[in-house]
Amino acid sequence: WPECHIPEWAVNLSKEKQQEKILKLVEEIVLRYRESKAIKYWQVENEPFFSFGECPWYDKKFLKKEIDLVKSLDLRKRPIIISESGEFSLWTRAARYGDMVGTTIYRRVWSKEFKIYFTHFFPSTFYYRRAQIIKRIFGKEVICIELQTEPWGPKLLYDLPLEEQEKSMDLERFQKNIKFAKKTGLDEFYFWGTEWWFWLKTKQNKPEIWEEAKLLFK
């Protein structure tokens, strides 16, 4: 943490050396998992066009190298997903680079600038219409790779009291987010928060979200 940062051992390496190490990591990951039937897509980078965290450099040519490397190693030729923020992007850059576009849906988050919880006002049609535009212009499918079903507070979860966690996610908000997601017209969603549901159930004696989620996967 944060999601985008350079590990300590690589801080003093040149940009070229850092990229060399990244390509080696990508190669090892693909070689390790390419025969797995659990792999449906490959996601290359995480929101590479969105400045979040400690991102020291941005390099479109290098992103293309990563994508080409994955494609060259994957004998099954599974689609490459490039992701962009659901709320702060038009998704066009991801559509130019990826076989598919992965987007995010976060409904209630902590604003560190204003020190308040903020609920996004975008309607479900906001996602649907953009997905249709991407499909029409680029011929690319859009899926949700991060649907918020866990808290987003002023601190990391393990430093956040349960009472504070529930200000941005509880059973009622979970249910509302599922209903909202269904209205977007997107066909595929990846839930962000399954470990948190399990922690609530096993460590906090609060199985409500876990049990609600089970109904979705029957």
Q: What whole-number distance in Å separates Cα of residue 215 and Cα of residue 145?
A: 20
Kindly indicate the confidence band of residue 55, based on its pLDDT and cuts at 50, 70 and 90: confident
Q: Is residue 127 within 8 Å of 187, Cβ to Cβ?
A: no
Beta strands 108-111 and 141-148 are unpaired
Q: What is the pLDDT of residues 87-132, one digit of tens each?
A: 989 999 999 999 999 999 999 999 999 999 999 999 999 999 999 9
User: Which residues share a beta bridge with 119?
Assistant: 108
Write down the domain spans for the chain. 1-78, 98-218
> Pick the residue with more confidence: 86 or 4?
86
Q: Per DSSP, which regions of 45-163 are E strands?
A: 80-84, 100-105, 108-111, 116-119, 141-148
Mean pLDDT of the chain: 96
Q: How far apart are CA 213 and CA 20, in angstroms?
A: 41
Which of the two residues, 218 and 207, has the higher pLDDT score? 207
Q: How confident is the model at residue 1 (pLDDT cuts 50, 70, 90)?
A: low
Confidence of residue 147 (pLDDT cuts 50, 70, 90): very high
- CA distance between the termini of the chain: 34
Position 56 scores a pLDDT of: 82
Question: Helix (H) and strand (E) counts for the chain?
Answer: 8, 7
